[in-house]
Chain A
Amino acid sequence: MQAEQHQEEEEEEEGEGGGGGGGSEPEGTFRKSPFQLTVEDVYDMSYVLGRELHKIGSEPRAEVPARVAQVQFKVVSVLEMLEALVNDSSLTVEALRMERDSLKREVEELREQGSRGTAEQVSLGPNKMVVDLTDANRPRFTLQELREVLQERNQLKAQLMVAQEELQCYKSGYMSQKQDPVELIRKEPTVGSASGSGSEEKTIIKRLFGFKRPR
């Protein structure tokens, strides 16, 4: 019904505008799909509606209702186009919003990976450590080396202790007696085996130095 009316109206328009070849073109914009409309079409519609309204004012009274109906029809079709466009744009907005959010998340993830990536590149694994080769205080000796140094230190310290004790003996003039009371005490019960005293002394030293070799 509407389409028929539309058709009629158009014919009328064409009939009326007889001279102007360009007259039919603005009318056609009302039939366009709302999604193909351009700004130009909107101006055309505006022109057509303005012309119709003008006609209402200038035509005989009896024709006014018919004119109004025609304008009403045009206005309704414009509103329908607007409705379609609004519907479509709100859908588009929603789709864009979702896309924006997912892109945001993606960016965040990538940023995170990026910052982790720089750390991962150097740390290689959970139990690995990074060594700055330009750092003078970087760890560089093995546990075994430290063990050996410590053992050597301990042995030297033991030797130093022995030397210090002997020095103390010399200083106190104790050595002039060529015997120390400790040794005398030890010898007492083993009078018979005096020859063993030398080796006995050695075993004391051995014992003093009897540091355990760490496994």
Chain B
Amino acid sequence: MKTTLLHVVPPVSRDRIISHFPKWYTPEACLQFKDHFHTQVGSACQRRNTGAVGLKISKVVVVGDLYVGKTSLINRFCKDVFDRDYKATIGVDFEIERFEIAGVPYSLQIWDTAGQEKFKCIASAYYRGAEIIITVFDLADIQTLDHTKQWLQDALRENEPGSSFIFLVGTKKDLVSTAACERTELDAIHYANEMQAEYWSVSAKTGENVREFFSRVAALAFEKSMLMELEKSNSRMAQIGAGNLINIEGTSLEASETNHQANVGCC
């Protein structure tokens, strides 16, 4: 796509500013226990020594059975709305959500895929290069939890092993009693551990845990890509030796750019 416009972006809204590392939902199924950013990342952010990471956009893919509430979850987070009526997603849809994490701009490109079988062949083409895979099920429909394994398997097939963070999310928390939710969570946590995923229970209708969840997603994705960037620029520095700092920044930008193109692909 060609555009000659200089893209200016307004500052991110206050609730998209993440300065402390967001906490997990349950310690029994979480990707990491730290409550602060990696020291290297933290100091790099403080020094504004973030290379091209500020330009970084991470790809999130949301998968799961039809009618579990993938679109509702995304709409609650990105638009803060909830539509009671079900409208099947056709193929794929996406949202871009901007954050400011540890003072650094960062975006999530959230891909909402259709749960209907007939769209699978279209949606699956968008699985590639996902830094985050969110597998969603309905807390009130245990069968949809069973199916998350297959959804994850399909999504992982399109990605390098170990290249994606995996989340397992139970939706419609408002529809089940606390006791029922806890029972289902036990199963879900078991699944999450098998999938090496972090578990969250949310409600798009009430908004419960939705922002916390996506903040967690963004922070984890941000830290991972920051660490990758820093590793890259460090190895560059080692190669070049004691070069000019400005030049090094430039090089790291280039390096990250090729990396992005490889990750995100291009239209």
Pair A150/B92 contact, Cβ less than 8 Å: yes
A202 to B105, CA, bound (A): 16
Which B-chain residue is minimally distant from A196 (CB atoms)?
B250
Which A-chain residue is minimally distant from B247 (CB atoms)?
A192
Tell yes or no: B57 within 8 A of A by CB.
yes
Q: How far is the CB of B204 from chain A (nearest CB, A)?
A: 21
Interface string of A175-215 (1 = CB under 8 A from B): 10000111101101111110010101111111111111111
B109 contacts across to A, CB distance below 8 A: 208
Tell yes or no: B5 within 8 A of A by CB.
yes
Interface string of A157-180 (1 = CB under 8 A from B): 111011001101100101100001
A156 to B57, CA, bound (A): 19
A157 to B267, CA, bound (A): 14
Q: How far is the CB of B89 from chain A (nearest CB, A)?
A: 10
A150 contacts across to B, CB distance below 8 A: 90-92, 122
| Segment of B79-87, B144-152, B174-182, B256-264 in the binding face | B256-264
Tell yes or no: A87 within 8 A of B by CB.
no
Given contacts A210-B265, A215-B125, contact A165 B10 (CB under 8 A): yes
Q: How far is the CB of B95 from chain A (nearest CB, A)?
A: 9
Q: Contact check: which of A143, A189, A190, A198 meets B121 at CB < 8 Å?
A: A143
Tell yes or no: B240 within 8 A of A by CB.
no
Which A-chain residue is minimally distant from B129 (CB atoms)?
A212
Interface string of A117-161 (1 = CB under 8 A from B): 000000000000000000000000001001100110011011101
| B: number of interface residues (CB 8 Å) | 44
Given contacts A165-B10, A208-B7, A210-B266, contact A193 B105 (CB under 8 A): no
Q: Contact check: which of A154, A198, A208, A210 meets B6 at CB < 8 Å?
A: A198
Q: Contact check: which of B54, B57, B121 meets A185 at CB < 8 Å?
A: B54
A193 to B90, CA, bound (A): 44
Pair A206/B6 contact, Cβ less than 8 Å: no
Pair A207/B55 contact, Cβ less than 8 Å: yes
A190 contacts across to B, CB distance below 8 A: 246, 249-250, 253
Q: How far is the CB of A170 from chain B (nearest CB, A)?
A: 9
A193 to B261, CA, bound (A): 22
A190 to B122, CA, bound (A): 41
Which A-chain residue is minimally distant from B55 (CB atoms)?
A204
Pair A165/B126 contact, Cβ less than 8 Å: no
Q: How far is the CB of B225 from chain A (nearest CB, A)?
A: 13
A147 to B10, CA, bound (A): 32
Pair A203/B55 contact, Cβ less than 8 Å: yes
Pair A146/B91 contact, Cβ less than 8 Å: yes
Which of B1, B10, B129 neighbours the largest number of chain A CB atoms within 10 Å of its CB?
Answer: B10
A198 contacts across to B, CB distance below 8 A: 6
B253 contacts across to A, CB distance below 8 A: 190, 200
A207 to B92, CA, bound (A): 19
Q: Contact check: which of B10, B49, B90, B264 meets A207 at CB < 8 Å?
A: B264
Q: A182-B11, A191-B246, A193-B246 are in contact. List 19 more A-B contacts (CB 8 A).
A: A143-B121, A143-B122, A150-B90, A150-B92, A155-B1, A165-B7, A166-B8, A169-B9, A180-B10, A185-B105, A186-B54, A190-B249, A190-B253, A200-B55, A206-B1, A207-B55, A207-B57, A210-B266, A215-B125
Interface residues in chain A, defined as those with a beta carbon under 8 Å from any beta carbon in chain B: 143, 146-147, 150-151, 154-155, 157-159, 161-162, 165-166, 168-169, 172, 174-175, 180-183, 185-186, 188-193, 196, 198, 200-215
Would you mind naming 17 contact pairs between A and B with Cβ atoms under 8 Å apart?
A155-B1, A165-B8, A168-B10, A169-B9, A185-B54, A185-B103, A189-B51, A189-B249, A200-B253, A205-B3, A205-B7, A208-B57, A208-B96, A209-B1, A210-B267, A211-B94, A211-B267
8 nearest A-B pairs in the assembled complex, by CB-CB distance: A214-B125, A212-B265, A210-B264, A192-B246, A168-B10, A150-B91, A209-B1, A211-B267
